[in-house]
Structures are given as C-alpha cells and as structure tokens.
Structure 1
C-alpha cells in the first residue's frame, strides 16, 4: 500500500515549474531582477552566479522526464530545487499542486518522506548498515513497522537482482550492486516521484545499460513519475518519454526523443545530438512511408498483376477491405493464375516476410529488411497495414536528414517477370480482347482496385 496522503489537487501535474530561478551570491534577488530585464549570465556575475534561469516545464504523472545538459548547465541544481534541498530564488515549483517554494521545514520533510525519493550518483548508502537495512531506510523514516520493512526491503532487493545479499554490508558490493541497493530503497519507499541525479554515471557501460533497462521495466510496471538527470545523450534518448535540454542555466528545448533528434530547436541542440545512435531512438513509425504496392484480396489476380506491372515490383501486399494485412502475392504466381483464367487471389497469398509494429526501433529492422523481398510492413495493434519501411528509407534515417519524407519513387523489389510478358498476358487474357490502342481508355489499376474493393 502507498503511504502518500492525497494531494489537495489530485488532477494536477506531478511537477510543475514556472519561471524558476536559482542564483548563488550576495544579492540574488537583484540578480533575478536584472536577468528578467534581459541581462545575461555574465552580466550579473558581480551579484551572483545564476545556476537556473527562468525555467518552466511540467512533468506528467507516470512519465520519465529527463533533464540533459553538459557540466555547469544547472541540471543538478534544478533537481535539488524540486525537493527543496536547494532554495528557489524566485518562481514557483508545485508537486501535485502543492507549492514547495517557501514551504516550511516540517512540511518539506513530510514531502520528501511521502512523495519524493532520491537516487544519488554515488549511491549514498549507510556503510555500517546491511543491504537490507539500507533498502528499508526510507520505510524506517516513514514509521513502517520492522516486520513490514523487512518484507518490503527483501522484495525489492530480489526485484533488482540482489537476493542473497541482504545481510552484507555495502562495502562488500560492487558499484553496480550498490546502485541497485539505492534503486531498491527508492522503490521500497513507494513514493509517487523518483528524482535521479546522474544515477548511473559512475557505472561501467555494461552495468549501466542493465540498470537503464531495469529502470524502464520497473517504471512501466509501477507507473512511477521519474525525473532523471544525465549528461549522456544516448541515456537520455533511451530513458526519456520527454527530454529537456539545458544550457547555461536555461532550458532551450523540451520534447520527445524524436523531436529533439529530428527537429532541434537551435544549433546547440543540433550539435548535441549529431552523434546520437539514431537506430535506437527512431522507430518504424517515425520513418515509415505510405504503402503503394497494396491490393485488396477481393481484387483478383489480374488487378494484382496489373498493379505490380505499373509499379515495376515483383510482389505486393494483400489486405482485407479494412486494411488488415493478410500476406503477399508474387508476380510469377499471379501470371500463372491469370493464364489459367483463375480469379481467386486469396488462395495464392503467402506469409508476409517481415512485419513489425510502429514502436519497433529501427535498429531491429536491418536484418528484416535484408532478408525480405518487400519493404518491412508496419502494422497497428489490430494487424492493419499502416506503412512500410523500404531499405532506402531505413538507410536515410541513420543520417542527419528528416525522418519524415515525401513518397519515395524507388520501388522494391525489381520484377521477376519481364514487364513485356506481363503486359502481353494481360492483353491476351482480357475479356473481350481489348485492342492495344484502346488500352489508354481502360481504368487505372488503382481505380480498378478501389472499385472492386468497394464492391466486396
């Protein structure tokens, strides 16, 4: 059970920051006044050091909100302002609707005990307490009975992979294991919000990736609100539902990882993201193109063959009238069926070689694209065809070009049957044997497919 008391405004954002400033120095209020009037960070150095300047953003309940920036950008100062560890010089910070700027010491302690947990960069474990007692420390502060503390601490230590280490001291654990204790402590406290300040930066790359994956898994299961501070762009892109980029105390852009990567707000953000691993940020839904080689199952082999001829492709997707993907048909099969006078397209449908959902990272699409004779098919949760990812689009997405493009005129794969053979077969088997000169008056394959699909 959660120990939090109900918020005075239960529908409020988890965190809402409006016009927040933090200035260290002799005359911080005067410095804020000059900053509001347009002075730069350097202009007010004699009055103090502006760590956070006119910052506004909101964090939605249940999201991972990442604040990213280089050293000195103000991100660590900002996260300390969120739980009252650093006094806000000016502005407003609300946690579930409750204003914490100017909040009394007792109320701040209650806020940290019941609503906010902190995971630190250097673990912040108590060296003379066992791993279990460290994991249960927040519960002890909350006044949870000893038996329940022990049970909940053991549960979370097992969840983070530390079963069997409960009675050891922190000094007996590796750095990655110590950080897992910190994560178990934060989740055991069962607060609404987790504040994580460079929580994984002290870990080696392999352990760091494991911790990132475990955090995402736990957050998806529990729906906690997480504010995560990092200077690592790839970490921000992997973890964040939304990302705030900070520079010199100011937030210069807030957006989804895709927004930050494909539509940077300025040159600083563009330079920041130029080396990011795009393949693990962009998804199939981000880069997919409108499907062209598509025929409804009701259209018949002639319509499919005509479409493949006109698009110069050896295969096309087959869908129901509701666009549910059934599979693919090949030009050789259609040619043979047309020559036989067959009209049943459905019987010749083959399984689709490569199908993904729109949230699949493009890093997972390369092997599928190489092995498939058609572009990778993208379907929604009801199995409807919503787009395709051709190989050329997949390769273009790895470069600094927009992920959303116009329709690409390159069709894959090249036909197996010569176009002349297909055209000749269509003419010879056409009902009424339409003369070649009259071909221009016949309906287009798209019109034919649309009409036949509408009749189905």
Structure 2
C-alpha cells in the first residue's frame, strides 16, 4: 500500500468550481478557464503514488501547482474532484472526502509540515516552539521535555534551547521548524520550499543534514522545490509540474536521461550529470557486451577478458592467457590507492566516482549487483553521459577516441 496516492485530483480556487470543472472537461486550459470564470486551476488531473520512506520532490516553475498539490495532503487546500488516499493503520483515508474530525486526527498524528518562512513564534523560546504541537496534543510536561530534547539533539540545537528565534540564523531557525515537525512524530513530512530563502552554502548544508536525518528517521517526505539541482540531490523520485499538471514522474536519473517532452528536456539541459547519474543508468548491460562463451570482452585492443562463473560471478580477468588481479572499490575508500587493473564496483556507483576510478585505473569498471556481474562501464558510456546523449546501439569503443586519448595520456 502506498503512503500517499493521488487519483485524478483537480483543485480549483474559487467559489464556482463546478463551472470551472465543466470547462476543464471540455478541454479548456488554465488561462481560458480563468478568463471565463475568474476561477484559478491550481491542479489538473494529478495521478501520483508516493511510497513509504521515499523523498518525493514536487518541482516546477512558480505557478506550476507544486505547492497547491502539496497542501492538499494535509487539507490546507481542498480537493475539488478526485481522491487523495493516505495510508493509516493499515487502511486508506481519503483526505478529499473525510470528516473534519478525521482530518484533525491526521494532522495531529500522521502529517507534519515545515514551512518556507519558518513560522516560528518569536515570543517563544526554541524549546517552547518545538514543543508547541505536543502541548496542543495534551502531552505531559515530562513527556514533552523528553521528546523536545531528543529532537533538538537530532538537529544539533540543544545548546540553543532557551534562545528566542531572533538570536538564531536563518538556517538554525529552519532546523527549529524541522525539529518541531519531527516532534509530532508523524510518518509523513511535508516541506514547502523550506530552504529557498537561505544562502546557497547554508542551503547545501541543510540538504545534506536532511539526507542524513532521513537515514535515521525514514519518514515519507514530500518536498517542494523550484531548484532542479536540489530536487535531483534529495529526491528518491521527482514529479515535474507545469500549469497544474504532472508532466513527468520518475527517478532522478530517468528524468535526466529520458525527458518526457521539450519542457522537461529544457529543465534538465544544464544539469551536471556527475551529481545525478548512476552506474546502472549508464552501463552497457552484460547481454549487450561482446562475449566468447563464458568470457566477456573488457578491452579488445589490449586483449582483456572477464571470465564468468555460475550466476555471472567473477572467476578471473585474463590477458593473452595470463590471469590478472581484480580489485574492488566501495564508497568511502580513497580512489588514489587503486592499482591500474580492472575494478569491481556496485552497480549503484555515482558517475563522479566512476570517472575518477576510470581515470585512476585505466580500465573499464565491472558492475556488480547482489554478487552478479550486470554490466560494464567504459569510455563510450561515460562520454555520452557527459555530452548528455543517449547511447545508440552499435556504438563501439573506437568511436570515442577523444575520451580514450585523454585517459591514455593521463595514464
């Protein structure tokens, strides 16, 4: 069961939503509906599933509908048509059609929100701000203190507990807002452009902190952003919106490699692939590699071959009949210590790491997943990724001589 599921959700801002929906069904767009009715089409026919524990980033330009869609989840925006289902105690609650008491219960027990403008109460201390929602829930003073201390420790603000918001930097104030949301202990965390008002360095720091925090708390996070680099960095999945519609939804590397239309293609045109793409998105799958029996060609010009055993396990690497050494690399290990010999890496390796290893070792990378060789990553694949091109069938390594020459000269 998905954590959140949108089913054909429309959102109309205005008192004559029925008239606007009728025009929408006739194929009229946002501008024409507003011209004829004065009603604003915020979201159109949104269909989206968000899984438990993922970070789903809603992104697009200003007015694309991303915040409008987000605010439907906790009932701040009313769904004009469609269903919005949220998992709750093994069943699904339709936020679009539930009672006011159910909505209140979902807001206080299941869903928390972090706002762009911090929304801290300036007359309260950090400790009191974090505990405000807990007090509204009727928690005892002892219980509140325990939870507040735990969340302040989690966001690194324990020493500021007695300070007022005015004494804190913007980044620290945003962490107070995050601690307050976490204190409510809801499984779903909504974040509406929480870092957009911050300086770039502070913004990057909080992005890193959010990812580290998510590895500990494993919330279902819906994050609104207009910054593609931020979306690609944070998102397990990304939904790109335009004029109230979801244009494309998928994993970051899928959106970069296979944009759905010209709008998305323009969005991702200047993305740095080193920060987004992974080995399994770029590799040449094993069934497309040149083979002779159980041996896979690593480098025809230098006569390097990879011998495979049962289940595509690695037996050896050989060259002209001689068996050679094979090394393994795991994230966090220094690339500079690698020898100039074939290297086995996990298929989820980031492109930046793959480039460094290719440069250091002078060999294609052997990609493994669950102990099985699944593909190879060499000059052709890296070259096309750097140029923002999709691989075409039939390309041989000899067609990318500029990159090969660069690597050869470096070695």
TM-score bucket (shorter structure) = 0.7 to 0.9
| Superposed displacement of residue 140, structure 1 | 2.0
Aligned length: 380
- Supply the distance in 2 between the matched residues of 1:409 and 1:104 (Cα, whole angstroms): 62
Question: For 1:419-434, what aligned pairs fall within 5 Å after superposition?
Answer: none
The answer for unaligned runs of 5 or more in structure 1 is 1-11, 338-344, 415-456
| Superposed displacement of residue 198, structure 1 | 0.4
Determine the structure 1 residue equivalent to 2:79.
88
Instruction: Flag the 1:137–1:326 CA change in 2: closer, same or farther, 3 A.
Output: farther
Question: For 1:7-406, what aligned pairs fall within 5 Å after superposition?
Answer: 12-45=1-34, 46-47=36-37, 48-96=39-87, 97-290=92-285, 292=289, 311-325=300-314, 328-331=317-320, 334=321, 345=323, 349=325, 351=327, 352-382=341-371, 384-402=372-390, 404-406=391-393
For residues 132-159 of structure 1, give each alpha carbon's deviation from its aligned partner in whole angstroms, at most 9, with x where no partner exists.
2222222222222211221221112112
Determine the structure 2 residue equivalent to 1:422.
none
For residues 114-143 of structure 1, give each alpha carbon's deviation from its aligned partner in whole angstroms, at most 9, with x where no partner exists.
010001111111112111222222222222
| Superposed displacement of residue 72, structure 1 | 0.7
More off after superposition, 239-248 vs 129-138: 129-138
For residues 282-336 of structure 1, give each alpha carbon's deviation from its aligned partner in whole angstroms, at most 9, with x where no partner exists.
101111114658899xx9xxx99xx789x222533354444333564445xx4xx
Please say if residues 13 and 59 of structure 1, whose CA atoms lie closer than 8 Å, have aligned partners that are also in contact: yes
Please say if residues 279 and 361 of structure 1, whose CA atoms lie closer than 8 Å, have aligned partners that are also in contact: yes
The answer for unaligned runs of 5 or more in structure 2 is 328-340, 406-411
Please say if residues 295 and 316 of structure 1, whose CA atoms lie closer than 8 Å, have aligned partners that are also in contact: no
Determine the structure 2 residue equivalent to 1:424.
none
- Supply the distance in 2 between the matched residues of 1:146 and 1:38 (Cα, whole angstroms): 56
Instruction: Flag the 1:157–1:405 CA change in 2: closer, same or farther, 3 A.
Output: farther
- Supply the distance in 1 between the matched residues of 2:347 and 2:298 (Cα, whole angstroms): 26
Give the match's secondary structure for 2:62: coil
- Supply the distance in 1 between the matched residues of 2:363 and 2:256 (Cα, whole angstroms): 28
Determine the structure 2 residue equivalent to 1:420.
none
Give the match's secondary structure for 1:88: coil
Please say if residues 46 and 245 of structure 2, whose CA atoms lie closer than 8 Å, have aligned partners that are also in contact: yes
For residues 214-254 of structure 1, give each alpha carbon's deviation from its aligned partner in whole angstroms, at most 9, with x where no partner exists.
22222233321111111111111111122111111111122
For residues 338-371 of structure 1, give each alpha carbon's deviation from its aligned partner in whole angstroms, at most 9, with x where no partner exists.
xxxxxxx4xx535454332111210122221111
Please say if residues 317 and 325 of structure 1, whose CA atoms lie closer than 8 Å, have aligned partners that are also in contact: yes
- Supply the distance in 2 between the matched residues of 1:215 and 1:349 (Cα, whole angstroms): 40
| Superposed displacement of residue 272, structure 1 | 1.2
- Supply the distance in 2 between the matched residues of 1:16 and 1:350 (Cα, whole angstroms): 46
Give the match's secondary structure for 2:72: helix
Please say if residues 329 and 350 of structure 1, whose CA atoms lie closer than 8 Å, have aligned partners that are also in contact: no
Determine the structure 1 residue equivalent to 2:335.
none
Cα RMSD (Å):
2.6
Instruction: Flag the 1:381–1:217 CA change in 2: closer, same or farther, 3 A.
Output: farther
Of Structure 1 and Structure 2, the greater strand share is in 2
Instruction: Flag the 1:49–1:172 CA change in 2: closer, same or farther, 3 A.
Output: same
Relative to the length of structure 2, the TM-score reads 0.85
Please say if residues 126 and 162 of structure 2, whose CA atoms lie closer than 8 Å, have aligned partners that are also in contact: yes
Relative to the length of structure 1, the TM-score reads 0.77
Give the match's secondary structure for 1:397: helix
- Supply the distance in 1 between the matched residues of 2:292 and 2:353 (Cα, whole angstroms): 27
